[in-house]
Amino acid sequence: MDIATHVFSAFYQFGDAFAFLVLSACGLAVIFGMMGVINLAHGEFIMCGAYVTAATVHAGLPLPLGILAGTIVSALVGVLVELAVIRHLYDRPLDTIVATWGLSLIATQGTLIMVGSTMAGVGTPFGSFQVGDYSYSIYRIVLFCAALGVLAALYALFNWTRFGVLARATIQVPHMAAALGVDTRLIYSLTFACGAGLAGLAGGLYAPTMTLVPTMGATFIMEAFVTVVIGGADVFLGTAPAGGVLAVVKSAMTSWQGQLFGQIGLLVAVIIVVRVLPKGISGFVLRERT
């Protein structure tokens, strides 16, 4: 095996880790960055997206439409949750964590009761290709592109659309935005729906690659939280670079010692980074800029 295949393999691993971190974290990061709310039911929104995707694919729809359906259903559930619970807790961030944890318990256990302990999965599309002695899944490349696509779409959404401008205004000075006629409650609802929808999208995208069980959200949330903690409150200055840094750590540790050590590496990285940069990467970058 020559150097080129090694390099390709390393890049592939990195891309895979990057896609997983960014896709699972961006929904959480949007909600946290815009609203200061940590959504502990994030994993369950991902689960919801994956389940809806699998169900629609079983019903005969093609996979992309299934993923779209998963995204939309998650976003709708997000609106309901925001209206019923989150809305009443904006001035109590710690209580939001507790309440969303309660929701996560309800969702996990409720799914277990209603759907059963497992659901038939969806086959991974596109097959694989060969580089050197190893074969690689094309779908993982698609996931990587999807992660980049999501970041680009979020950038466009928050910078170039009216909703994005209003949302950022609401986040900066809520009272001022409200005084200028922005319906801040609606903005908060939509932002939460956006985050929930992104979680659903992550679930839909990863549905073909994993077994669908009610506790599958737990496989995402640790990575998602770690990325958001390291990244800080800003999606572009935080989540994306944090995803990049952590992907290097994770893929290196994983190929060295296996899956578990990849995760331990993430945890150690997060503890060290928060000791050095308490506000995450984006806090650091923004401080340098001002």
Partner 1 sequence: MTGLLAMFRRLEGPQTVGRGPAFWGLFALVLAVALAYPLFSDGYTVGNTVYFFVWVFIALSLCLIWGYGGSLSFGQTAFFGIAGYSYGILTINFGSGYGFTLLALVMAVAIAALFAVLLGYFMFFGRIAGVFLGIVTLAVTLMLERFMAQTAGPEWHIGAARLNGFNGMSAMPPLTIPWPGEPIVLFADVGLYYLVLGLLAFVYLALRILMNSSFGNVIVAIRENPERAEMLGYDVRKYQLITFVIGAALAGLSGVLYTVWGQYITPSSMGMTAAALPLIWVAVGGRSDLTSTVIGTLVVLAAFQALTIYGSQYALVFMGVLLVLTVLIAPNGLVLGAMNWLGRIASRLTQRAG
Binding residues for partner 1, rule: CB under 8 A, are 32, 36, 38, 40, 85, 88-89, 92-95, 97-99, 101-106, 108-110, 112-113, 215, 218, 221-222, 225-226, 228-229, 260, 263-264, 267, 270-272, 274-276, 278
Compute the least distance from the CB of residue 76 to partner 1, in Å. 19
- Rank residues 69 and 228 by Cβ distance to partner 1 and give the closer one: 228
Computed over its alpha carbons, how large is the radius of gyration of the chain?
19
- Closer CB to partner 1, 40 or 212, in the complex: 40
Instruction: Residue 78: name the closest of 46, 115, 33 by CA.
Output: 46
Exposed, middle or buried: residue 121 (CB in 10 Å: 0-12, 13-18, 19+)?
middle
Q: How far is the CB of 86 from partner 1 (least distance, A)?
A: 10
CB atoms within 10 A of CB 278: 10
For residue 24, the minimal CB distance to partner 1 (Å) is 13
Dihedral class, residue 281 (left if φ above 0, else alpha if ψ from -120 to 50, else beta): alpha
Which is closer to partner 1, CB of 47 or CB of 67?
47
Q: Which is nearer to partner 1, 35 or 190 (CB)?
A: 35
Please state the closest distance from residue 255 (CB atom) to partner 1, in A: 17
68 or 233, CB closer to partner 1? 233
Measured CA to CA in angstroms, residue 174 lies from 2, 70, 84, 232 at distances of: 57, 31, 21, 20
Terminus-to-terminus CA distance in the chain, angstroms? 49
- Which secondary structure element, helix H or strand E, spans residue 137, and what is its range? strand 134-137
- CA of 237: how far to CAs of 27, 98, 144, 154, in Å? 15, 28, 19, 12
Task: Report the nearest approach of partner 1 to the CB of residue 105 (Å).
Answer: 4
| Closer by beta carbon to partner 1, 17 or else 177 | 17
| Shortest spacing between CB 84 and partner 1, in angstroms | 9
